[in-house]
Amino acid sequence: MLSISEIKSLLATPQKIVITTHHKPDGDAMGSSLGLYAYLIQLGHHVKVITPTDYPYFLHWLPNNSDVIIYTEQPEQSAALVAEAAMIFCLDFNSLVRINELGELVRASGAYKLMIDHHLEPEDFDDYRHWSINACAAAQLVYDFIVNELGDGAKMNKDIAACLYTGIMTDSGNFRFPSATSEVYRIAADLIDLGAEHWRIHQLVYDNATENRLRFLGHCISNKLEILREFNTAIISVTKEELKQYNIVTGDTEGIVNYALSVNGIRLAAFIIERTDKVKLSLRSTGDFPANEICKKYFNGGGHRNAAGGFSDKNLEDTIEQFKSVLIEYKTQLLQ
């Protein structure tokens, strides 16, 4: 592993740098990536943010978003940038499978690979690791990397603050998850002092739905919500035909699982979506119930204790039945 002094030496002269993040990036993925981008360009580096796929429209307002390259739309340019890079920052993921085809390009690259992440069980592909499962967001760790590890808090500006505040806000569940510690609030306060307009950021992320998205949400709650009181579990499942009916695009399903979790007495919520190639699951839980364990053991995934995801190669109906059968194993925990 590289030491922080070696990282400082590398960053002392202009480098070709790529920043990448996970498949279907969320607020933390894009906030941490563009926040780090806004810092590195001040140092004179040649920096590109490459995402494996597209990402929600309600994140397109982020500073420097227009400079982002989407791998699926520009694969040749992306491959060339990765091949030429001297340093590759891997943010908000810890396994190269999380960036799809881009992962093999990163693995083959001779660049130094720097991981900044807060997920369990990191893969050993990196040369430097700023990692903590106790952080509420990768954006929190990017803040810590710039301010405390590099000692370069003087370079923090309004653009960086807006990006990192977005990442922390979204991955902390708008500061309601247990990971939103007093330290997180102090960082948020510092970002506000630096110019992050917290009220505007909240509005742009949470009050920016399309009409289709709002009608789809109503359909999910009214017609697709299933409550399993014997397991204190709620399920919302949707077919690919329903996604097409409501013209659902990337980002429109974000957060819907939390409505299922908000039902009184529910400890575990699942949002199960039929996609073209596979069925995807998003799980949320309360307290110490291990949503990530279910995803890891049964659905090819993982994540945090209270927020996890996975997928199944079975059809939608069989995936739902498998999920329900798994609940029997966890019944005692779910009823506590």
Q: Work out the mean pLDDT of the chain and round it to a whole number.
A: 97
For residue 219, name the pLDDT band (cuts at 50, 70, 90).
very high
User: Is the sign of the CA dihedral 159, 161, 72, 43 positive or negative?
Assistant: positive
- Write down the pLDDT at residue 52: 98
pLDDT for the residue 55: 96
pLDDT band per the 50, 70, 90 thresholds, residue 329: very high
Q: What percent of the chain has pLDDT over 70?
A: 100
Within 10 Å of residue 206's Cβ, how many Cβ atoms? 15
Average pLDDT for residues 188-212, to the nearest whole number? 96
| Domain architecture of the chain: domains with CATH | 4-206 (3.90.1640.10), 211-335 (3.10.310.30)
Q: What are phi and psi of 303, to 5 degrees?
A: 140, -145
How much is the pLDDT for 171? 95
Q: What is the pLDDT of residues 40-76, one digit of tens each?
A: 999 999 999 999 999 999 999 999 999 999 999 999 9
pLDDT at 208: 92
Output the pLDDT for position 205.
Answer: 96
pTM: 0.92
Q: List, in order, residues 6 or more apart from 10 with CB less than 8 Å away.
A: 2, 86, 87, 112
Query: Is the separation of the CB atoms in 94 and 119 below 8 Å?
Result: yes
Give pLDDT tens digits for 268-301.
Answer: 999 999 998 899 999 999 999 999 999 999 999 9
pLDDT bracket for residue 261 (50, 70, 90): very high
The C-alpha atoms of residue 111 and residue 159 are separated, in whole angstroms, by 27
